Chain A
Amino acid sequence: DQQVKQNSPSLSVQEGRISILNCDYTNSMFDYFLWYKKYPAEGPTFLISISSIKDKNEDGRFTVFLNKSAKHLSLHIVPSQPGDSAVYFCAANRISAGGTSYGKLTFGQGTILTVHP
């Protein structure tokens, strides 16, 4: 049962244009969402996150949008750069009422982003 899905295995974008990576989830208990980026032969690195009480979070060129009713989130990268070429993973988490993480991230399958010069 895939609770977090990234339905696009790959995305190709021209440098300078917008990259939009999508993610859907099914478990309504998830209340915190994260994006990780992974280069070959490296571990995933944290990129940006969003709490379920927000619908948008921005950090420089990266913006994450959350649509709770649709159980959908997206990562926008503007403008895209060749160095952004990597695998992007969406991940979901549950935060307890006390504000502590249950400690288990549920990841999507990943989307390979290629930004062409």
Chain B
Amino acid sequence: ETGVTQSPTHLIKTRGQQVTLRCSSQSGHNTVSWYQQALGQGPQFIFQYYREEENGRGNFPPRFSGLQFPNYSSELNVNALELDDSALYLCASSAYIGGTGELFFGEGSRLTVL
């Protein structure tokens, strides 16, 4: 059984640029969520995708957008990067949209914005 994989693991961008982060869900999982973890903080919910549609969004501006593909993999796109976007971005998958919130996380993509 393949776990959640994310790419790239590390990247550096400059303010104003755009970034795309990628995530492959755990085998058999059709729901994917993205979280932002700033240094010293807990993960913060960005949004969730189910059957290729956004299904819930946290307090993040529209420049944070996402996609889910038919194979349940997902992308997180961030436009017009700001310094405060520097964080660890975590992708998590779950077997179905129902359930109690037990998520399987990838190791994350660490984004540094200069």
Contact = CB atoms under 8 A, between A and B. Distances in A.
Do A and B actually bind? yes
Interface of A: 4, 6, 32, 34, 36, 41-46, 49, 51, 89, 91, 93, 95, 98-110
A73 B95 CA distance: 26
A101 B101 contact: yes
13 contacts: A4-B42, A6-B42, A41-B107, A43-B92, A43-B107, A89-B42, A91-B101, A95-B101, A104-B48, A104-B56, A105-B35, A108-B42, A109-B40
B102 A103 contact: no
Contacts of A36: 105
A107 B44 contact: yes
A104 B102 contact: no
Contact of B102 (A46, A106, A110): A46
A45 B108 CA distance: 12
A45 B105 contact: yes
A47 B108 CA distance: 19
B97 interface: yes
Nearest to A39: B107
A105 B45 contact: yes
5 closest A-B pairs (Cβ-Cβ)? Answer: A43-B105, A107-B42, A100-B98, A93-B101, A103-B48
Among B90, B106, B107: residue with most chain A CB under 10 A: B107
B105 to A, nearest CB: 3
Given A42-B107, A43-B106, A105 B98 contact: no
A46 B58 CA distance: 21
A103 B56 contact: yes
B31 interface: yes
B4 A43 contact: yes
A102 B100 contact: no
Contact of A100 (B42, B43, B97): B97
Contacts of A108: 42
Given A103-B48, A103-B97, A104-B58, A49 B102 contact: yes
